[in-house]
Amino acid sequence: MNAPPPLPAPDSDSEPFWAACREGHLAVQRCPKCARFRWPPMAFCPFCRHRGGEWIKLPGTGAVQSFVVVHRAFDPAFAPGVSH
């Protein structure tokens, strides 16, 4: 019997993202100084080095620009969902 896949472990930087997911919407962190979006969420902006960030609720529209097909499970719990 396979163990269930591990759940994400939110930290202080990512908790607002997971809270938005629980509420049914997508949110992303944006720098209040240079206004650039950033992922993954972090304590400072990688573009202008400003500390802090604001969380913006996204409108739920857009287009998929890219995707990944996984061919190897790095954790056995994910093996059933991996494409062969």
**Model confidence pLDDT, tens digit, residues 37-77:** 999 999 999 999 999 999 999 998 988 899 988 888 888 88
Q: Whole-structure pTM over 0.85, yes or no?
A: no
Report in angstroms the alpha-carbon separations of 69 from 66, 79, 81: 10, 13, 10
The pLDDT, as a whole number, for residue 21 is 94
pLDDT band at 1 (very low <50, low <70, confident <90, very high): low
Report cis status (omega within 30 of 0) of the bond before 10. no
